[in-house]
Structure 1
Amino acid sequence: MNAHINLKHLLPAWEHFRNATDIAPIRDEAHYMRMAETLEVLLDAAQGNEHHPAMGLIDIVGDLIEDYEAEHHFLPEATGTQALRFLMQQHGLKQTDLPEIGSQGVVSEVLSGKRDPNIRQVRALSKRFGVSSATFV
């Protein structure tokens, strides 16, 4: 890694990026909604490809959303798997009712923690339940 960072080039690029995307620590509910929309656009662009160039931004925006939700939405700490179980219970769903994830066997592996849902599955679950994709990440 290059220990010398050229701030003369970095700072103008950062300003341009920040102004174009508004990706920064979330300030308020309106900014939170914009970041949730940004996450959805990035997930659409990645189309489930774990190696897509948008994956770095997906991680950053997801972390920003998670940080804001932890401070302002006061939900109990839950993993993506716990959130999915809760949503399944609230909607009266069984493992076979989640074709977004895959077969009953794949759903079982996700619910048991043996497998993490991929980006495509996260996006589909987010859309189905009307929650932020960060819920399952």
Structure 2
Amino acid sequence: MSLRPIRSEADYDVALEEVERLWGAKSGTPEGDRLDVLATLIEVYETKHYPMDPPDPIEAIRFRMEQQGLTRKDLEPMIGPRNRVADILNRKRGLSIDMIRHLHEQLGISAEVLIRPSRFDKVA
């Protein structure tokens, strides 16, 4: 396969197969360079054709908690008392601007993600 932009699903499939074949190639070798270029082309194609919505703010907080081994208690300095943390994580209450600032600064979660409306689950 010659290197060229990925313009169709067929091109995309061929590029993925080539990446699979080249996977593990050493950096700085012709195969490694080809792998890098193909990965970049695939990323551009996927960004254009398979855009991903930013995550839900609560899911982002839960994900970061899992990544960093945090408990609900660890969120109290950023969100407030235990019952407020529970309300936020159970989607009974929205994030305030101050909470968003603290979570962004202390957990490194994108402010763009945190300001999005959370999908409030209805509790029966």
With the shorter chain as reference, the TM-score category is: 0.3 to 0.5
Question: TM-score by structure 1 length?
Answer: 0.44
TM-score (norm 2): 0.48
